[in-house]
Amino acid sequence: MIYPTPAQLLRVSLPALLMAHFLVWPLIGLRSAHAGLIAAELVIIWFMALFIRRRRLAPENLLLLNAAPLGSLAIAAATAFFASLVIAEFDLLWGLGLAFFDLAPPLSLQRGLLEVQIARTPLEMILGFLALALFPGVCEELFFRGFVFTGLYAHRGPTTALLGSALLFALAHFNPWQLPALLLFGLFLGLLVYWTHSIYPAILAHFINNLLSFAGVNLRAYFGLELFTPFQPLPLPFTLAAVLLLIAGLLLLRRQPVVVELIDGQTDLSKPDAVRIEDQYSN
């Protein structure tokens, strides 16, 4: 099995992310913010698919399209709920700290992030669901925790794969004010993939996180309820409980059986631009 090298990952990621954020999203977003977000997600998948097709790679292995037990998916979903609360709380406290030092994000950015999530009509509710929860959950996980994580894992091992994929994921949002929270979220998603050997728990967790944020903004806008996405710090006992339940969920997930093992890391360096991994299931 051949996996992309770190240099190849950068050559695919940089133009894909720059085009998605600075060309496709602004142009299409002028007509529809939700359509612009969906198009931007599809751009990074298009770049990835072109590379896979050109190199004749096996997407099932590269993107970790391995089955995951239902128990692992259920634990990942529950853990994602508590991770969303903890990371949202951390992001809120980080933002308050930045504001204290007069480093808060521009009001125009804050307003834009909120407005794109507010659904004013049933159609906007559907488009918001697709653009803010479904497409990011699927496309970004296939790219960052499939394509990027697996390539880094094959060449540099799990630590670099976890940190590298999380850092690229955080930087890809081009939002320095939320970089720490995005980095934590990327690490959480990477652990889901690393411990389950499958992309599906990460897709599910990413979808749940974004859906909770989308629902939380609209519940506050229309009903004054501050659920899922706190706009004020949570009471300390609630935060500690969420942290403990998050840790318990991760430890429980780590003990779950896996269906397919990750690549074994035995490399054949006869190819200058790729690593050949022996497939232990080929026989």
Count, residues in the chain = 283
Q: Give the pLDDT score at 221.
A: 85
Question: Containing H/E element for 98?
Answer: helix 70-100
Over the stretch 174-201, which tens digit does the pLDDT of each residue have? 999 999 999 999 999 999 999 999 999 9
Query: If pLDDT is split at 50, 70 and 90, which confidence band does 230 have?
Result: low
Q: For residue 102, is it within any domain?
A: yes
Within a domain: residue 283? no
Q: Which residues contact 152 (CB under 8 A, 6 or more apart)?
A: 6, 9, 160, 161, 164, 165
| Mean pLDDT confidence for 116-125 | 94
Tell me if 184 is assigned to some domain: yes
Residue 26 lies in a domain: yes
Q: Which domain holds residue 267?
A: 2-277
Asked if the structure places residue 282 within a domain, the reply is no
- Quick: pLDDT tens for 91-100: 999 999 999 9
Return the sign of the alpha-carbon dihedral for residues 183, 136, 158, 196.
positive
Q: What is the pLDDT of residues 139-157, one digit of tens each?
A: 999 999 999 999 999 999 9
pTM exceeds cut of 0.75: yes
Predicted confidence (pLDDT) at residue 39 exceeds the cutoff of 80: yes
Which range among 64-73, 242-251, 269-278 shows the weakest confidence by mean pLDDT? 269-278
- Mean of per-residue pLDDT scores for the chain: 90
How many domains does one find in the chain? 1
Residue 211 neighbours by CB under 8 Å, 6+ apart:
129, 132, 133
